[in-house]
Amino acid sequence: AQKVTQAQTEISVVEKEDVTLDCVYETRDTTYYLFWYKQPPSGELVFLIRRNSFDEQNEISGRYSWNFQKSTSSFNFTITASQVVDSAVYFCALSEGNAGKSTFGDGTTLTVKP
């Protein structure tokens, strides 16, 4: 059975601080995909990244970066120099195979204060 744990329920930071959102997963498959999604207060879901289990290279996209470590089964997400617009609920998810049945974490609510 697969499982995704986002231990941080809520995080509050002040603008310009760096913040890391943790994601730990469990799976017995050797081929799997990890995702991060953003859900701002408006309610829409925004896809941020999809990473397969064979690619452990860290990814950077602007102020966003992801650290994938198979040794610790973690796929953490860091926002550098946070902004108020980063305030949202962030979900980590795992799927087995190419698309597979996805399992979502419970989400981390990030609040960035001005």
Partner 1 sequence: DAGVIQSPRHEVTEMGQEVTLRCKPISGHDYLFWYRQTMMRGLELLIYFNNNVPIDDSGMPEDRFSAKMPNASFSTLKIQPSEPRDSAVYFCASRLGNEQFFGPGTRLTVL
Residues near partner 1, by CB under 8 A:
35, 43-47, 50, 91, 93, 95, 99-102, 104, 106-107
Q: Shortest distance, CB of residue 100 to partner 1, whole angstroms?
A: 7
* Tokens of residue 32, six digits: 């799997």
Q: Shortest distance, CB of residue 14 to partner 1, whole angstroms?
A: 28
Using the minimum distance from each CB to partner 1, give the nearer residue, 13 or 48: 48
Q: Shortest distance, CB of residue 72 to partner 1, whole angstroms?
A: 23
Using the minimum distance from each CB to partner 1, give the nearer residue, 3 or 16: 3
Which is nearest to 104 in space by CA: 25, 42, 22, 48? 25
Phi, psi dihedrals of residue 57, rounded to the nearest 5°: -65, 140
The CA distance from 80 to 72, in Å, is: 23
Q: Helix or strand or coil: residue 53?
A: coil
Using the minimum distance from each CB to partner 1, give the nearer residue, 72 or 102: 102
Q: Are 33 and 52 in contact (CB under 8 A)?
A: yes
Using the minimum distance from each CB to partner 1, give the nearer residue, 83 or 102: 102
List 60's β-bridge partners, or say none: 65
Q: Shortest distance, CB of residue 101 to partner 1, whole angstroms?
A: 6
